[in-house]
C-alpha cells in the first residue's frame, strides 16, 4: 500500500520506482566520471609515451594552439606566413646547392 | 528522427517541395537571415578597425621595406639589420592598440588550466604574479643566451663585411650565427610571454557576451517569426555548454591531443541529451543551423584568395591540385567500392579528410544538408586521426631523415586539423613550419570553392530524380542561400585584401577585423552550433551511421591515398620543378 506522500508524487496507476527515476542521473554521473577519467587518468598516462611526451612539452613551450580549426585561429600561422613572405619577397638571392 | 543541418526541426521543407519563393524569405528564412547577421558583424568589424591604423603605419612600412631590400642586396645572407627591420615591420599591427586588446579580452574564451577548472575563468593577482615569478629564471637565462648569440652574430657579420662579403666561409658562418641568434631570440620571446601573465576574471565578460549573443540571435528569431522570450531563456544553457567545451579544450593534457571545442561541445551536449534529457525550456535555443550558417558567413571573410600565392606555384600544386583529386577519388571510392549508404556522409568525411578537418566538414555538411549525426561522426574521426598523425608524422619524417621543406609540405597537405599542422610542422623546425603552415593556409582557402561546388552539385545532381533534367530556376530554389553569403564575404574581403596591399591588409584586416573580432565570434557561433548538435543527438541514432565500420574504412583509404599523392607532389614541386623557391625558404 503506497504511503500518502508517494500518492502525491506518482501518477495514478504508475508504480513508484525511485531507482528507475534515478537512472538518468546515475548515467549522467557515470558519463562525467568517464570524462574525468579520460582527462586526468588515461590522457596523462598516454603522455608518458615518448613521442607524445615530447610533443606535449613542445606545444607547451611554444604556446601553440594545437586545437585550432582554421588558420586565423592561431598566431603561429600568421608568423610563419609573414616570415615566408619576407624571405621570398625581400630575402637575398640564394641559389639551390 | 534525424534532421538535416540546414533544415531546422520546425521548418517545413517548402523551398524543395514546391519550389516557391517569396520576398519575405529575405528575412523569414534562416539562410538569408544568417547572411544579414553575418554581414552586420563584418560591417561593424570594418567600421571599428579600418579607421584606426597604427601611427605612421604607411611611412614605417616604406622605411622597413627599404631597409630589407638594401640589406638583401648588400649581403648574400639575411643580416642582423634585415632581421631587425623584419621584426619591427611585424609589430605594426592594429591589434596591439588598447581598443583592440579590450575587444579581444571581451570575446576571449576560457584560459588554460591543469587541475582546477576555475583557473580557466579566474586568475588572482597573486596567482598571476606567482606564475610570472616561476617563469622568470628561464626567461633570464634565455635572454642572456640570446644576447650572447647576438654578440657572436655581430662579430661574424662584421668579419664577413670586412671581406666585402666575398669569402664564402665567412658568409656561411655569419648566416649560421645569425640564424642561431634568431632561434635564441625566439626562445627568449616565448619565455617572456610566460612572465607576462595578468590577472583576469572572465565571469563578467562571459555573462555580458552571453547576454549580447542571446539578444543578437533572439532578435533574429523574432524577425523569423519565432518567439524571442523562449529562445532568450534557453540560450544561456547552450552558451554554458559552449563555455564548458572551451574549458575542456584548454585543459593542459587535452590540448596536446588536439581535442578542440567542437568535440567537447558534442560530448557534453550528448551526455545531457542521452541521460537526463535536454530540458524542454532549452530546446527553442537548440538551433544548430542558425548558429552554423551565421558562423560560416563570418568564416567566408577569412577565406582570402590572395593567400594562395603565399608560396608560389609549389604551394598551389600541393594544396589546390592534390586536394580536389583526393576529395573526388575518396568520394568515388565511397560510392562505387564501399557502396556508402549516405552520399552526404561520404562527401562530409571526404572533405574533412582531404581539405582541413572540422572547418571543411562544417562547410561541406552545411552545403549538402548532411545530418547532424554525419557531421558529428566526421568531426570525431578527424580529431582521433589528427591526434595520431600529429605525433606519428614528425616522428616518421625525422626517422627517415626527410628534408624539412618536404616534411613540412607533406604535413601541411595531409594532417586535417590546422592547429595540429602548426604543432607538427614547428616540431620539425622553422622551415618545415613555414611550409606546413602556408600549404595548410592555402588548403583552408579551398573550402570556399569546395562548399560552393558541393552545394551546386547537390542541387543539380544528387537531390533530383535520376535521369531528370533540373532547370537553373529549380537549382536556385534548392540552393542553400547562406553559401552565397559565405562566398560574397570571401570575395569582398579578398578584394579589400588585394586593394590594401599585403602589408596594410596584414596589419589592419587580418590582425584587426578578422583575428581581433570576427573570428572570435565565429568560434563562439561554431561552439554554440556543436553544443546544439550534442543536445539534439541520440546516441543510438549516431551508432547506426557507423555500422559496418565503413566511415572508418573510407577515412583510412582516403588518407592513405592523400599521404602518397601529397608526398609525391611535394617532392616533384619543391625539389624537381621549383628548387629555387625551396632554397629561399
Same domain, B296 and B340: yes
Residue A33 within any structural domain of the chain: yes
Residue A78 within any structural domain of the chain: yes
- The answer on pLDDT for B1 being more than 60 is no
Query: How many Å apart are CA B543 and CA B557, to the nearest integer?
Result: 21
Same domain, B165 and B237: no
Q: Name which of B338-347, B459-468, B476-485, B500-509 the model is least confident about.
A: B459-468
Please report the sign of the dihedral spanned by the C-alpha atoms of residue B370, residue B371, residue B372, residue B376: negative
Contacts of B304 (CB under 8 A, 6+ apart): B445, B490, B493, B494, B497, B510
How far apart are the CA of B559 and the nearest CA of chain A, in angstroms?
18
Bridge partner list, B4? B371
| Cβ pair B423:A83 closer than 8 A | no
Residue A8 within any structural domain of the chain: no
How far apart are the CA of A15 and the nearest CA of chain B, in angstroms?
20
| Cβ pair B419:A93 closer than 8 A | no
| Minimum CA–CA partner of A51 in chain B | B391
Band (A13; pLDDT cuts 50, 70, 90)? low
| Cβ pair A35:B427 closer than 8 A | no
Note down the domain range covering B83.
57-95+136-199
* Report for A52-56, B219-223, B473-477: range of highest mean pLDDT: B219-223
The total domain count for chain B is: 2
pLDDT digits over A14-45, tens only? 666 767 788 999 999 999 999 999 999 998 88
pLDDT digits over B431-465, tens only? 899 899 989 999 988 988 999 999 989 988 887 76
Query: How many Å apart are CA A15 and CA B26, to the nearest integer?
Result: 53
The total domain count for chain A is: 1
Give the 3-state DSSP-derived string for B115-160, with helices as H, strands as E and coil as C: CCHHHHCEECHHHHHHHHHHHHHHHHHHHHHHHHHHHHHHHHHHHH
Same domain, B489 and B368: yes
Same domain, B406 and B455: yes
> Would you state the cell numbers that stand for residue B23, as one nine-digit string?
520576398
Same domain, B352 and B493: yes
Same domain, B190 and B226: no
- The answer on pLDDT for B11 being more than 50 is no
Residue A1 within any structural domain of the chain: no
Please name the member of B193, B526, B579 whose beta carbon is closest to the beta carbon of A96.
B579
- For residue B123, the SS3 value is strand
> Would you state the cell numbers that stand for residue B129, as one nine-digit string?
604574479
Residue B44 within any structural domain of the chain: no
Query: How many Å apart are CA B528 and CA B280, to the nearest integer?
Result: 17
Q: Which 120-149 residues of chain B touch chain A by CB within 8 A?
A: none
B123 phi and psi angles, rounded to 5 deg: -135, 120
Contacts of B174 in chain A (CB under 8 A): none
Same domain, B293 and B305: yes
Residue A5 within any structural domain of the chain: no
Query: How many Å apart are CA B31 and CA B63, to the nearest integer?
Result: 47
- For residue B200, the SS3 value is strand
Band (A10; pLDDT cuts 50, 70, 90)? low
* Interface-testing mutation among B313, B437, B514, with chain A (most A C-beta atoms within 10 A): B437
Does B435 touch chain A if contact means CB atoms closer than 8 Å? yes
Longest dimension (CA), chain B: 81
Say if residues B580 and A87 touch (Cβ distance below 8 Å).
Answer: no
Residue A83 within any structural domain of the chain: yes
| Cβ pair A90:B82 closer than 8 A | yes
pLDDT digits over A51-89, tens only? 788 888 888 888 888 899 899 998 888 888 899 889 889
Same domain, B324 and B390: yes
Out of B199, B227, B243, pick the residue that ends a domain: B199
Residue A63 within any structural domain of the chain: yes
Same domain, B460 and B505: yes
- The answer on pLDDT for B79 being more than 60 is yes
Same domain, B146 and B253: no
- The answer on pLDDT for A3 being more than 50 is no
Same domain, B172 and B259: no
Note down the domain range covering A71.
19-90
Contacts of A44 in chain B (CB under 8 A): 253
Same domain, B144 and B88: yes
Bridge partner list, B123? B200
Residue A3 within any structural domain of the chain: no
Residue B406 within any structural domain of the chain: yes
Amino acid at each position: 500500500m503506497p504511503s500518502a506522500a508517494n500518492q502525491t508524487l506518482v501518477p495514478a496507476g504508475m508504480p513508484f520506482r525511485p531507482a528507475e527515476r534515478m537512472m538518468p542521473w546515475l548515467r549522467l554521473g557515470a558519463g562525467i566520471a568517464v570524462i574525468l577519467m579520460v582527462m586526468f587518468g588515461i590522457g596523462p598516462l598516454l603522455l608518458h609515451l615518448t613521442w607524445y611526451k615530447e610533443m606535449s612539452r613542445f606545444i607547451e613551450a611554444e604556446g601553440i594552439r594545437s586545437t585550432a580549426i582554421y588558420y586565423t585561429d592561431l598566431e603561429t600561422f600568421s608568423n610563419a606566413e609573414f616570415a615566408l613572405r619576407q624571405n621570398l619577397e625581400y630575402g637575398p638571392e640564394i641559389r639551390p646547392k | 528522427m534525424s534532421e538535416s543541418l540546414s533544415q531546422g526541426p520546425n521548418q517545413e521543407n517548402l523551398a524543395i517541395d514546391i519550389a516557391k519563393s517569396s520576398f519575405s524569405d529575405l528575412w523569414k528564412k534562416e539562410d538569408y537571415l544568417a547572411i544579414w547577421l553575418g554581414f552586420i558583424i563584418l560591417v561593424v568589424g570594418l567600421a571599428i578597425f579600418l579607421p584606426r591604423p597604427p601611427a605612421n603605419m604607411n611611412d614605417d612600412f616604406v622605411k622597413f621595406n627599404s631597409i630589407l631590400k638594401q640589406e638583401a642586396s648588400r649581403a648574400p645572407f639575411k643580416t642582423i639589420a634585415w632581421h631587425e627591420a623584419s621584426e619591427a615591420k611585424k609589430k605594426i599591427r592594429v591589434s596591439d592598440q588598447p581598443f583592440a586588446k579590450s575587444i579581444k579580452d571581451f570575446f576571449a574564451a576560457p584560459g588554460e588550466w591543469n587541475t582546477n577548472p576555475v583557473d580557466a575563468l579566474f586568475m588572482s593577482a597573486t596567482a598571476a604574479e606567482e606564475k610570472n615569478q616561476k617563469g622568470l629564471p628561464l626567461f633570464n637565462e634565455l635572454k642572456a643566451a640570446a644576447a650572447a648569440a647576438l654578440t657572436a652574430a655581430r662579430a661574424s657579420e662584421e668579419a664577413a663585411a670586412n671581406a666585402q662579403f666575398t669569402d664564402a666561409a665567412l658568409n656561411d658562418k655569419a648566416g649560421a650565427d645569425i640564424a642561431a641568434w634568431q632561434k635564441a631570440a625566439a626562445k627568449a620571446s616565448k619565455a617572456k610571454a610566460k612572465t607576462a601573465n595578468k590577472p583576469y576574471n572572465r565571469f563578467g565578460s562571459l555573462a555580458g557576451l552571453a547576454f549580447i549573443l542571446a539578444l543578437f540571435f533572439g532578435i533574429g528569431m523574432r524577425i523569423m517569426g519565432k518567439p524571442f522570450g523562449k529562445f532568450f531563456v534557453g540560450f544561456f544553457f547552450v552558451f554554458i555548454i559552449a563555455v564548458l567545451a572551451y574549458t575542456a579544450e584548454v585543459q593542459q593534457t587535452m590540448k596536446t591531443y588536439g581535442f578542440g571545442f567542437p568535440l567537447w561541445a558534442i560530448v557534453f551536449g550528448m551526455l545531457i541529451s542521452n541521460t537526463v534529457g535536454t530540458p524542454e525550456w532549452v530546446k527553442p535555443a537548440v538551433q544548430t543551423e542558425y548558429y552554423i550558417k551565421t558562423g560560416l558567413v563570418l568564416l567566408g571573410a577569412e577565406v582570402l584568395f590572395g593567400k594562395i600565392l603565399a608560396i608560389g606555384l609549389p604551394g598551389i600544386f600541393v594544396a589546390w591540385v592534390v586536394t580536389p583529386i583526393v576529395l573526388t577519388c575518396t568520394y568515388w571510392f565511397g560510392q562505387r567500392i564501399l557502396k556508402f549508404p549516405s552520399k552526404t556522409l561520404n562527401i562530409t568525411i571526404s572533405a574533412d579528410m582531404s581539405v582541413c578537418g572540422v572547418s571543411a566538414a562544417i562547410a561541406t555538411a552545411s552545403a549538402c544538408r548532411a545530418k547532424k549525426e554525419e557531421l558529428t561522426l566526421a568531426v570525431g574521426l578527424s580529431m582521433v586521426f589528427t591526434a595520431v598523425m600529429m605525433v606519428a608524422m614528425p616522428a616518421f619524417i625525422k626517422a627517415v631523415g626527410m628534408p624539412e621543406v618536404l616534411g613540412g609540405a607533406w604535413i601541411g597537405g595531409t594532417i586535417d586539423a590546422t592547429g595540429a599542422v602548426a604543432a607538427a610542422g614547428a616540431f620539425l623546425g622553422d622551415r618545415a613550419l613555414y611550409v606546413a603552415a602556408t600549404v595548410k593556409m592555402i588548403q583552408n582557402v579551398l573550402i570556399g570553392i569546395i562548399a560552393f561546388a558541393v552545394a551546386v552539385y547537390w542541387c543539380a545532381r544528387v537531390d533530383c530524380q535520376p535521369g531528370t533534367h533540373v532547370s537553373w530556376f529549380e537549382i536556385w530554389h534548392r540552393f542553400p542561400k547562406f553559401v552565397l553569403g559565405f562566398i560574397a564575404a570571401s570575395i569582398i574581403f579578398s578584394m579589400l585584401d588585394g586593394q590594401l596591399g599585403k602589408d596594410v591588409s596584414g596589419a589592419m584586416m587580418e590582425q584587426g577585423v578578422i583575428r581581433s573580432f570576427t573570428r572570435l565570434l565565429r568560434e563562439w557561433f561554431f561552439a554554440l552550433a556543436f553544443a546544439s548538435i550534442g543536445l539534439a543527438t541520440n546516441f543510438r541514432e549516431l551508432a547506426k551511421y557507423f555500422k559496418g565500420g565503413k566511415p572508418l574504412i573510407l577515412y583510412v583509404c582516403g588518407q592513405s591515398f592523400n599521404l602518397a599523392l601529397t608526398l609525391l607532389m611535394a617532392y616533384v614541386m619543391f625539389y624537381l620543378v621549383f628548387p629555387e623557391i625551396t632554397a629561399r625558404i
